[in-house]
Chain A
Amino acid sequence: MKTRPLLSETMAAHGVSRRTFMKYCATLASVMALPPALAPRIAQALERARRPSVIWLSFQECTGCTESITRSHAPTIEEMIFNTISLDYQDTLQAAAGHQAEAARHQAMKENYGKYLVVVEGSIPVANPAYSCFAGRSNLDVLKETAAGAAAIVTVGTCAAYGGIPHAMPNPTGARAVSDIITDKPIINVPGCPPIPVVMTGVLAHFLTFGVPELDDLGRPKAFYGDVIHDRCYRRPFYDKGLFAETFDDEGARAGWCLYKLGCKGPTTHSVCATVKWNGGVSFPIQSGHPCLGCTQPDFWDGGGFYKPLSVPTGDYRALAAGGVGVGAVVGAAGALVGRGVKAEAARKHETVDAHDLEKPS
């Protein structure tokens, strides 16, 4: 097994000054959503970190997550991260193809058995594995084989984390999340469609420096998925004041009021979109005037409609209620008529009694 160099050694070899390193750590603290005062701790941890081998598996996906991470606004951060890790297999980015590519994966696994990191993008078809294969092997096979020697698995995107769009009703391929298949390894879910680039790199940096981060019930790092967008949204004050855009082109929409009534899923969606934002901090969907779709949540595609407010029922309740009115009217009328019949019958059977009758001996 090769001994991978310490990160500090790599940096020193490149003539990176301590001040530059501290600047990098300050940015990393921000990227990792840690308090800025922790930058020196990050520096200490990074100095001891060795470059881990990373195997990136692409299953049922659109490659949007890879697109996102490679189009990040801060290329040097990603460069440094990817200099820090050794990306030994990524079938979209690597030059090798076919048998050579598979050989690279097997070699990385053999050399770093028990220590490498597996990144999974996309869901795994289980009902019919033939829907997604590479090198003639099913995703399920490759995942099980690769996960066996992994130190941890990072799922990138909602498909790998929760099944995502392939898992949406009626789920024709029988798509499953990584956590449905692998149960004996730490799994860090980084959902999103796609996830924010710096969130992906932030999670990788956290794994590198402090190991597996603290996760929520859905396996997501709390640092990035601890708050719902609604609680960090700059439009939240409008929600609290009761000011809402009713349509996409009304006065409220132009004034930047809350998008709840246009179907915003911010109140139930956990992400840092409102603070970290997209495209280098330029904006995020709500700032651009569109409600949040809830893409970091399991089954967001089947949440009842992107433009349906969270408080609105998802079913065909109007028809059912109309049917209920009809049934109620018929049953109520029938019941009342039966009641009238009973009353009339009782009245008919009623025998009047007078004083003479009472006098009669019984």
Chain B
Amino acid sequence: MNPAFTLFMWARGPAFDVALAIFAAGITLRLVEMVVLGRKTDLAPAKGHPIRQGLATIFTRSIPRPGLVRFAPGTYLGGYVFHLGFFAAFLLFAPHIALIRDALGLSWPAANRAIVESATALAVVAAIILFFSRVMDPVRRALTGFEDYLVLLLSVLPLVTGYVAANKLFGNPEMMLAVHVLSVDALLIVFPFTKLMHSVSFVFSRYYNGAIQGRKGAES
């Protein structure tokens, strides 16, 4: 009867259920795989503190190396702004908090519209800068494959569609809401099987990197 609303109901009903199940199964699969596979025991005596350095590296890698910001400002600043903006828009917007409360029972105060919308806009601008930094630089362009472009597109779509739906910029607002939820469903489905997995696996990779260097007594 109302295609926009029907699509919206499908997107937040069966489509979300399936997407979330795939997301949960995929993330668990890859985490369990990582843990069970483990790493070969290093029999050499440690020269430093592998565990301590491994744990520390999980956090210290969030701070850029001196000089690198100047070397690739677009990548660094764009990366920061995109990640912070994405999570601010995701975690501070009331409808999203309502969803998390329903799912996990956790709740926190929402931010006002100006903050959420500025964060969204900044994240989108940052994503565009990141896209251009990939396309303009010949080395990065050569390293970028279809998956990278897909992942970039899928992480920006929820921001753009959400902004359009909330501000009724164009199109039928209900249809845009449906498209927004569908874009999130798509993001959830591809998440575990693409580089988006870094948002979980970074803990492991940073720990391993830190621990390997720590064992050698080197900086990480």
Contacts and interface: CB of A to CB of B under 8 A. Distances in A.
| A–B: direct contact at CB < 8 Å | yes
Interface of A: 162-163, 177, 217-218, 228, 231, 239-244, 246, 258, 260-261, 267-268, 297-299, 302-304, 308-318, 320-329, 331-333, 335-337, 339-340
Interface stretch (B108-116, B122-130, B132-140, B152-160): B108-116
Contact of B31 (A310, A314, A332, A337): A332
Given A162-B1, A321-B20, A325-B28, A312 B98 contact: yes
A242 B29 contact: no
Given A314-B9, A320-B21, A217 B172 contact: yes
Dominant secondary structure at the B interface: helix
A269 to B, nearest CB: 10
Interface residues of B, number: 52
Contact of A309 (B8, B33, B99): B99
Contact of B13 (A310, A314, A318): A314
Interface string B22-35: 11111111111111
Contacts of A312: 12, 98-99, 102
B16 interface: yes
A118 B94 CA distance: 45
8 contacts: A228-B173, A312-B98, A314-B13, A317-B17, A320-B20, A324-B24, A328-B24, A340-B36
A244 B98 CA distance: 10
Given A217-B172, A298-B1, A317-B16, A239 B103 contact: no
B16 A332 contact: no
B148 interface: no
A329 B168 CA distance: 42
Contacts of A328: 24-30, 32
B44 interface: no
A268 B25 contact: no
Contact of A337 (B36, B97, B112): B36
A332 B17 contact: no
A227 to B, nearest CB: 10
A47 B173 CA distance: 40
Contacts of B96: 311
A325 B16 contact: no
Contacts of B21: 317, 320-321, 323-324
B177 interface: yes
B68 to A, nearest CB: 35
Closest 5 CB pairs of A and B: A328-B28, A332-B32, A336-B36, A324-B24, A311-B95
B25 A331 contact: yes
B118 to A, nearest CB: 13
A242 B16 contact: no
B17 A336 contact: no
Contacts of A241: 112-113
B200 to A, nearest CB: 12
Interface string B143-155: 0000000000000
A313 B23 contact: no
A324 B102 contact: no
A320 B17 contact: yes
B14 A315 contact: yes
A267 B96 CA distance: 15
Nearest to B1: A298
A260 B95 contact: yes
A321 B103 CA distance: 10
A217 B32 CA distance: 50
Contacts of A218: 1-2
Contacts of B59: none
B17 A333 contact: no
B5 interface: yes
Nearest to B114: A240
A324 B20 contact: yes
Contacts of B30: 328, 332
A311 B28 contact: no
Nearest to A216: B172
Indicate the member of A217, A318, A332 with the most B CB atoms within 10 Å. Answer: A332
A242 B174 contact: no
Contacts of A332: 28-33, 36
Given A260-B98, A298-B5, 5 more contacts: A177-B1, A218-B2, A297-B2, A324-B24, A326-B28
